[in-house]
């Protein structure tokens, strides 16, 4: 059966992609940020996932204001990137796993989630930048991918609790799939930031650090916030924390925080990365133990 080995949450700021493209990882203004990913690379090298379920928010590349699904799941053989206007290089397509995607989709619909099913899907910087951060310089794509897009653009937005429950359903879907796969759930976006209006440049460090604590030890406390609460405390674009709730909900076992890093890079966005390891009761049992 497929196993969820853990989750990674990471920011996806477009300027990160530009820094990667220009080789600025060791520049004084960027070094601390990129150094925060070294333990993530070590963990991924150790656990060697086969599949990444990437929970992200589309910024108008795939969906626009006239048609925005609350939740969309990709079921394509590959996912293409294209120019968004940020000056980022267009990257090679990401391989999909349609059979696995359809299993997840069917399971989510059976769990009463209304999913937009995408047999063709473009992925923007919210998907491509995190993949470059987690697997830097990879000549070949090390994992297949299943994109899960969450609306954070057009109100009404899904609530944090609804996103947490979506994660629970995704976790059940993954672990009911009859193939021996190691799956990592990646959440992208956040932390606090606002790009427009009278609060442009808003960052709430105290709220961010509280979220980093609670998402590990008490996610339900955070899930009780409303989407409007998130806008108030994290900024209009900080509502991207919704993706973190999906990732955390997908963890099905004993969750251990392996790494976290918080930093404000050359951007008006508070950035963070976190690694959570997931151990199910079966994985925690001694080798010769009988499980019931």
Q: Which are the contacts of 180, defined by CB distance < 8 A and separation ≥ 6? A: 1, 2
DSSP 139-180: SS--SEEEEEEE--SSSSPPPHHHHHHHHHHHHHHHHT-SS-
> 12, 59, 103, 193: which one is catalytic?
193
Cα 219 → chain centroid: 16
- b/e string for 18-44 if b means 16 or more Cβ within 10 A? bbbeeebeeeeebeebbebbeebeebb
Q: Is 187 exposed, middle or buried (0-12, 13-18, 19+ CB in 10 A)?
A: buried
Question: Phi/psi of residue 73, each to 5°?
Answer: -125, 130
H or E, element range at 215:
helix 205-217
80 an active-site residue? no
> 77, 80, 125, 263: which one is catalytic?
125
Please identify which residue in the block is written with the tokens 């900024």: 235
103 an active-site residue? no
Beta strands in 159-270 (DSSP E): 182-188, 254-263
Catalytic residues: 125, 193
């Amino acid at each position: 059966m497929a196993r969820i080995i853990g989750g990674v949450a990471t920011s996806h700021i477009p300027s990160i992609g530009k820094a990667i493209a220009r080789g600025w990882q060791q520049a004084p203004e960027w070094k601390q940020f990129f150094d925060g990913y070294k333990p993530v690379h070590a963990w991924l090298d150790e656990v060697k996932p086969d599949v990444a379920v990437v929970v992200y928010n589309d910024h108008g590349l795939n969906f626009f204001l006239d048609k925005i699904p609350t939740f969309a799941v990709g079921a394509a053989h590959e996912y293409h990137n294209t120019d968004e206007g940020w000056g980022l290089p267009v990257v090679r397509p990401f391989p999909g796993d349609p059979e696995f995607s359809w299993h997840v989709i069917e399971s989510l619909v059976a769990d009463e989630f209304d999913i937009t099913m995408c047999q063709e899907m473009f992925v923007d910087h919210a998907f491509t930048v995190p993949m470059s951060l987690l697997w830097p310089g990879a000549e070949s794509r090390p994992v297949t991918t299943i994109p899960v897009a969450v609306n954070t653009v057009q109100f009404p937005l899904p609530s944090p609790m609804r996103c947490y429950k979506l994660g629970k359903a995704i976790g059940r879907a993954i672990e009911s799939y009859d193939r021996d796969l190691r799956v990592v759930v990646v959440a992208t976006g956040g932390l606090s930031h606002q790009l427009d209006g009278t609060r442009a440049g808003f960052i709430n460090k105290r709220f961010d650090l509280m979220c980093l604590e609670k998402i590990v030890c008490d996610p339900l406390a955070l899930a009780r916030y409303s989407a409007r609460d998130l806008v108030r405390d994290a900024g209009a674009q900080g509502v991207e924390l919704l993706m973190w709730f999906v990732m955390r909900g997908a963890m099905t076992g004993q969750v251990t925080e392996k790494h976290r890093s918080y930093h404000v890079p050359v951007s008006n966005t508070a950035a963070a990365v976190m690694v959570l390891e997931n151990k199910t009761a079966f994985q925690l049992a001694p080798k010769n133990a009988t499980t019931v």
